[in-house]
Amino acid sequence: MALFSAFQTTFLLALLSLKTYQSEVLSEPLSLAPESLEVSIDSARQCLHLQWSVHNLAYHQELKMVFQIEISRIKTSNVIWVENYSTTVKRNQVLRWSWESKLPLECAKHSVRMRGAVDDAQVPELRFWSNWTSWEEVDVQSSLGHDPLFVFPKDKLVEEGSNVTICYVSRSHQNNISCYLEGVRMHGEQLDPNVCVFHLKNVPFVRETGTNIYCKADQGDLIKGIVLFVSKVFEEPKDFSCETRDLKTLNCTWAPGSDAGLLTQLSQSYTLFESFSGKKTLCKHKSWCNWQVSPDSQEMYNFTLTAENYLRKRSVHLLFNLTHRVHPMAPFNVFVKNVSATNATMTWKVHSIGNYSTLLCQIELYGEGKVIQKQNVSVKVNGKHLMKKLEPSTEYAAQVRCANANHFWKWSEWTRRNFTTAEAAPSEAPDVWRNMKSVQGHCVVTLFWKPLSKLQANGKILFYNVVLENLDRPSTLKLLSIPAPANGTELTLDQCSYQIHVTANNSVGTSPASVIAVSGDPGNKEVEEERVKGTEDGFCLSWKPQPGGVTGYVVEWCERPGDPLCDLQWKNLGPNTTSTVVSSDAFRPGVRYNFRIYGISTERIPYLLEKKTGYSQELVPSDNPQVLMSNLTSYSFTLSWKDYAAESQPGFVQGYSLYLKSKAARCLPGSEKAVLSDDSICCKYKIDNPKQKTFVVENLQPASFYEFFLTPYTSVGEGPQGAFTKVTTPDEYSHILIRIILPMIFSILLIMILCYLKSQWMKEKCYPDIPDPYKSSVLSLIKSKENPRLTIMNVKDCIPDAIEVINKQEGTRKSLTETEPTKPTYLYLLPTEKSHSGPGPCICFENFTYNQAASDSVSCGHVPVTPKAQPSQLGLLTSSENGPKALGKNYVNSLGEIPAGETNLNYVSQLASPMCGDKSSLPTNPPEPALCSEYKTQMAIPMGLASPPSITLLDEGEHDH
């Protein structure tokens, strides 16, 4: 091989020596010049593509050469770019080189030339430049067409922040051209008379549809423009990472950068290259790629992830050891075996990650959703772990995951299994309490017990055993089995003392017994109830420690005090406890809860110690009392509300507020001004004693209007606002009048009743019956005389000797009291020659009493009235209604003057006339005057007392006496 190389070099040198010789002969050195230079353009990329070849090389000759390339713009002397391009050249090999122009190629004519030189250490003597090729001209403008205006570059795509050169080519010399970037005018430099160039620096991203750049003529509608598509900066991939799960395949992931932000998304490609193996793969996905691990136990990997779009290429690198990037598969064949009440064994298998690798496995035990045990175990292939200290009859979940123990990379996924431990006998005695009552001489005991907690029950409780042990007859035992889930039972016992044992039983065994004793004496001694104040946290109860031996205390209460079932609750406390806080979600504001605190004797007999009552939260009274008003006087009234049940209020009633409204500006003593909710002002009396159920409102004004309203109050406030009751005090005189008038009326009534009852006696005393003369003893006396003619004087027989005429002024009528004493005028009716024309003389007796029997027989008064009666006479008649009274009075007076001895005979007859007092019914046919009876005066009125008749005598018929 070395021999061949030496031969080749010698041959080449010989050839070159020959060439050199020829050159020297021809006075022109031999050079390896580029030939067949061709230039093409890529307008979109603004690139010039050059391609050429070197023909003078020998067959299979390969030399390093350098090519110098010159690019000029507009004119060849204006070289804008010179670059040396080195490459290895073969004979007739087509060489390519590209150049990107900042200025759009359409904006100016470009020219290219190049020369070459050998740059090979093997032939250092050939290191000289060849001749330049001729200038190759690139003139795009000439092929643009005939439009008057062009703007370049068309639809160029750049990254934001780039520098861009823009030009316009104008074919019209008459118009001035103005160019704008998004409506803002740009100022450029004139490249030649037809071309103007604008350099944009740091172009921003404007919108998804690109940036509008346009040029237009000052006159006319000529406008041309381009859209510059500015994309956002292409970001490199982030979080590039590779891992294996099975040592066969590597999974590489990354987070691609943000989008370009253009309407036409730039296509992005991702390539994964591993440098140690030299392998490369084009990723199909934007964010992950798989790589097949080589089977030749390659441990180290050096990856390069290349992200590329039209504008930019970004790369990130990652070097790692394969065994350090193992992400194990999840464990399989996971089982939980040998599950007892407290233990269980978990077994599993893992996927191997190598012949000698060890996996670290993590086991977690979950109970009630929380991790209760956590263990790490080293595993080759098979794993096993014993889980201890488990609770009987409890559901658990165990899960396991593994990682490479030597080089931790990531945990595998969890594999989870659920299991339930076996049951065990209940560990705790049930919490038992009782309620006792006496029914018909028997002791009815209601036993209550709380269900055991899950930890205590150790399984499903099937039944409760209740053993009754008669303490008076210890040999007597009684067993009751109560199926679960009962939480109590009722026992009817005699008055004997019993000890009760309660146990809970599941399928495995029996719990310890809970013992409680009952005796004939319930022990509910009278204990004064105390008030306690509840809080949001509950009731804080405390009690005095018992001097004697107690085995504990029990606090008992009802969670539903108003409910007959009561929902009895209790709390067991130790013997050294003297306070506790009773809290419950069942406690409601405004409900009074009663607590009873029992001490448990050494004989397990509960006895009542204290009673407490209180509200978890007091409320204002729910209703107001019905107030009754009494004893209303002019100055006071009394209010009472004895039926009001303060205990049923949602708070302790601390007293009552009495609101009194009146017209008085000032409040009475004992009250104070208060403003009601309706802003009205009234006086308020505060009654601090809640047991006071009456109240006297005093110092009121007589005949005044008042309104009152009574409401209870608790520590929270007063009861609801209610209606005021109206009351008006009476006048004080009416009160007095009532005091006088009522007794008077009563007295009068009493007298009337007495008078009625004693009417006979009164009659006898005050107005005795007129004695019947025929029955008089005088008659017998007279009859005893011999004169037969003497007889009892009959009215008919009497002859009036005088008629008393009362002068009365016509047309006037006065009351009896106002009537002036009228001097009676008497008409003497004793028989005279002239006046006597009737059948016989009539004598009228005037009598103070009225004798109906006599009046019936009287005919003398019935004097026929002649039609010719004079008005004056009628006037006399009409006044007759007053007549008898006046007459009577006068006669009484006159009688008073009569000697007592003569009174027996002194009768003045008062005869009733049918027309008496009936002047409206004057008889049209007056009855014929009856024959006047014989009257015999029993008393002759002295003549001297009578005035001579000075008036015309009335007819008999016209006289009503």
Partner 1 sequence: MLALCDLGLVLGLLFLSTPAMGSCLDNYQELLGQLQKQADFMQHTSMLLDPYISIQGLDKDGLKKHCRERPGVFPSKDALQQLSRQEFLQILNTTLGHVLHRLRTLQKDIPKAQDLEKLNIAKLNIRGFKNNIHCMAQLLPGSLEKTEPTPTGPGASPSPTPISDAFQRRLEGCRFLHGYHRFMHSVGQVFREWGQSPSRSRRHSPRRGLRKGKHRTHLSSRNKRLMPRGWLPR
Nearest to 444 by CA among 408, 486, 491: 491
- The residue within the footprint of partner 1, chosen from 42, 155, 299, 732 (CB under 8 A), is 155
**43 interacts with partner 1 by CB under 8 A:** no
Chain positions 575 to 634 lying near partner 1, rule: CB under 8 A, are: none
Residue 165 or 244 with smaller CB distance to partner 1: 165
| Residue 378: CB minimum distance to partner 1, A | 56
**212 interacts with partner 1 by CB under 8 A:** yes
- The residue within the footprint of partner 1, chosen from 34, 104, 116, 225 (CB under 8 A), is 225
- The residue within the footprint of partner 1, chosen from 67, 198, 214, 659 (CB under 8 A), is 214
**104 interacts with partner 1 by CB under 8 A:** no
Decide: helix, strand or coil at residue 723. Answer: coil
**180 interacts with partner 1 by CB under 8 A:** yes
Task: For residue 485, say if its preceding peptide bond is cis, omega within 30 degrees of 0.
Answer: yes
**144 interacts with partner 1 by CB under 8 A:** no
- The residue within the footprint of partner 1, chosen from 110, 113, 216, 961 (CB under 8 A), is 216
Cα–Cα separations (whole angstroms), residue 358 to 293, 361, 379: 21, 10, 6
Residue 211 or 938 with smaller CB distance to partner 1: 211
**478 interacts with partner 1 by CB under 8 A:** no
Q: How far is C-alpha 320 from the geometric centre of its chain's CA atoms?
A: 63
Q: Segment contacting partner 1 (CB under 8 A): 53-61, 91-99, 150-158, 850-858?
A: 150-158
| Residue 209: CB minimum distance to partner 1, A | 6
Q: Segment contacting partner 1 (CB under 8 A): 96-104, 207-215, 384-392, 487-495?
A: 207-215
**224 interacts with partner 1 by CB under 8 A:** yes
**106 interacts with partner 1 by CB under 8 A:** no
Residue 182 or 643 with smaller CB distance to partner 1: 182
DSSP-assigned letter for residue 468: E
Q: Which amino acid is at 917?
A: G
| Sheet with 269-274: strands ordered across | 279-282, 269-274, 300-308, 313-321
Cα–Cα separations (whole angstroms), residue 626 to 642, 645, 709, 961: 9, 10, 10, 76
| Residue 208: CB minimum distance to partner 1, A | 4
Cα–Cα dist 125/118, whole Å:
9
Cα–Cα dist 407/232, whole Å:
41
Residue 214 or 656 with smaller CB distance to partner 1: 214
Q: Segment contacting partner 1 (CB under 8 A): 2-10, 206-214, 488-496, 857-865?
A: 206-214
Q: Segment contacting partner 1 (CB under 8 A): 54-62, 148-156, 661-669, 859-867?
A: 148-156
Residue 214 or 598 with smaller CB distance to partner 1: 214
Instruction: Report CA torsion sign: 290, 293, 294, 295.
Output: negative
DSSP-assigned letter for residue 881: G
**62 interacts with partner 1 by CB under 8 A:** no
Residue 213 or 447 with smaller CB distance to partner 1: 213
Residue 147 or 494 with smaller CB distance to partner 1: 147
Q: Segment contacting partner 1 (CB under 8 A): 6-14, 210-218, 621-629, 820-828?
A: 210-218
| Residue 309: CB minimum distance to partner 1, A | 18
Q: How many residues bind partner 1 (CB under 8 A)?
A: 24
H helices within 478-529, ranges in order? Answer: none
**209 interacts with partner 1 by CB under 8 A:** yes
Q: Segment contacting partner 1 (CB under 8 A): 226-234, 291-299, 312-320, 934-942?
A: 226-234
Nearest to 907 by CA among 851, 844, 846: 846
**176 interacts with partner 1 by CB under 8 A:** no
| Sheet with 671-675: strands ordered across | 671-675, 681-687, 655-662, 705-713, 725-728
**208 interacts with partner 1 by CB under 8 A:** yes
| CB atoms inside a 10 Å sphere around CB 120 | 16
**953 interacts with partner 1 by CB under 8 A:** no
How much helix, strand and coil, in percent to the nearest 5, is found in the chain? 15, 40, 45
Residue 227 or 508 with smaller CB distance to partner 1: 227
Decide: helix, strand or coil at residue 741. Answer: helix
Q: Which amino acid is at 498?
A: Y
- What is the DSSP annotation of 147-212? -SEEEESTT-EEETT--EEEEEEE--SSS-EEEEETTEEE--EEEETTEEEEEE-SPPP--TT-EE
Q: Segment contacting partner 1 (CB under 8 A): 147-155, 636-644, 749-757, 927-935?
A: 147-155
Q: Segment contacting partner 1 (CB under 8 A): 10-18, 201-209, 547-555, 666-674?
A: 201-209
Residue 208 or 707 with smaller CB distance to partner 1: 208
Nearest to 291 by CA among 352, 356, 241, 329: 241
∠ Cα 552 556 561 (to 5°): 175
Instruction: Report CA torsion sign: 479, 482, 487, 490.
Output: negative
- What is the DSSP annotation of 325-369? GB-PPPPEEEEEES--SS-EEEEEE----SSS--EEEEEEEEETT
Residues 6 or more apart whose CB falls under 8 angstroms from that of 212 comprise: 181, 182, 225, 227
Nearest to 254 by CA among 239, 244, 267: 239
**221 interacts with partner 1 by CB under 8 A:** yes
**226 interacts with partner 1 by CB under 8 A:** yes
**207 interacts with partner 1 by CB under 8 A:** yes
Cα–Cα dist 195/215, whole Å:
12
Q: Segment contacting partner 1 (CB under 8 A): 218-226, 455-463, 608-616, 672-680?
A: 218-226
Residue 160 or 208 with smaller CB distance to partner 1: 208
| Residue 231: CB minimum distance to partner 1, A | 13
| Residue 618: CB minimum distance to partner 1, A | 56
Residue 100 or 182 with smaller CB distance to partner 1: 182
Residue 263 or 566 with smaller CB distance to partner 1: 263
Residue 153 or 650 with smaller CB distance to partner 1: 153
| Residue 108: CB minimum distance to partner 1, A | 20
| Residue 160: CB minimum distance to partner 1, A | 16
Chain positions 181 to 200 lying near partner 1, rule: CB under 8 A, are: 182-183
Nearest to 226 by CA among 275, 277, 169: 169
Residue 156 or 862 with smaller CB distance to partner 1: 156
Question: Which residue has tokens 């209740």?
Answer: 466
- Paired tokens of 428: 């705790």
| Residue 157: CB minimum distance to partner 1, A | 11
- The residue within the footprint of partner 1, chosen from 154, 324, 450, 889 (CB under 8 A), is 154
- Paired tokens of 44: 């979109």
- The residue within the footprint of partner 1, chosen from 82, 263, 754, 951 (CB under 8 A), is 263
Residues 6 or more apart whose CB falls under 8 angstroms from that of 672 comprise: 683, 684, 686
Cα–Cα dist 682/756, whole Å:
58
**143 interacts with partner 1 by CB under 8 A:** no
Residue 183 or 547 with smaller CB distance to partner 1: 183
**227 interacts with partner 1 by CB under 8 A:** yes
Using CB under 8 A as the criterion, which residues of the chain lie in contact with partner 1 when the complex forms? 151, 154-155, 180, 182-183, 206-214, 216, 221, 223-227, 229, 263
